[in-house]
Chains A and B, each alone.
Chain A
């Protein structure tokens, strides 16, 4: 059974600090996604990671994928208040067994 676990589920941090959100999954993935959701809003796609060792960066966010460890990370550098949101990872196996499984989300609160 495919399971996707994010940790932490809640993170409160100071502006200017660095932190990492972890996404572990239990079986082979074809794609791994990271999304951002602001309260009361829809989801915004941040990154799509396709292969082992993939690293993508956008502004203060960087995502990486280790398919051997079945682990993806979302690293936040020098956090700013505008990055406060809930972040989801999702594992896509739709080409194998019709599954796209989301983690429960990490609610990030950045204190000014």
Chain B
């Protein structure tokens, strides 16, 4: 089984809809991250969490919110989706040694 899982893997939604992307990990890591990837732009950090009670905004947090329900779960929400939030979203974890482990990604399309 994969160490970092994301659901859904693909999602098409409409402008104004609320959507949640979920991430689970079995590595026992404290640190979890949400990134988005756009063609030609690399990855950009949306939010990160160093433990259940520690959540921090990243470079592009506007329009997004997160919830760290447990050490193993970190969810990303778009309260009112807009077309420029169409992107590939990755969850990642890191632990001792700081190596990051990425999930398989969620491809989100906002029409």
Contact = CB atoms under 8 A, between A and B. Distances in A.
Interface of A: 31, 33, 35, 41-45, 48, 50, 88, 90, 92, 94, 98-105
B45 A48 contact: no
A27 to B, nearest CB: 14
Sorted from nearest, which 6 A-B pairs have the closest CB atoms? Answer: A102-B42, A102-B43, A43-B102, A42-B102, A100-B45, A104-B42
A101 B99 contact: no
Contact of A42 (B41, B42, B90): B90
B57 A98 contact: yes
Contact of A105 (B42, B48, B59, B98): B42
B58 interface: yes
A45 B90 CA distance: 13
Nearest to B50: A94
A101 B81 CA distance: 24
22 contacts: A31-B98, A33-B100, A42-B90, A43-B43, A43-B92, A43-B102, A45-B99, A45-B100, A45-B101, A45-B102, A48-B98, A48-B99, A50-B98, A94-B48, A94-B56, A99-B45, A99-B58, A100-B33, A102-B42, A104-B40, A104-B41, A104-B42
Contacts of A98: 45, 48, 56-59
Interface in B45-92: 45, 48, 56-59, 90, 92
A100 B45 CA distance: 6
A50 B98 CA distance: 9
Q: Which of A31, A42, A103 has the most CB of B within 10 A?
A: A42
A100 B103 CA distance: 17
Contacts of A41: 104
Contact of B58 (A45, A90, A100): A100
A48 B76 CA distance: 26
A76 B87 CA distance: 30
Contacts of A31: 98
A43 B90 contact: yes
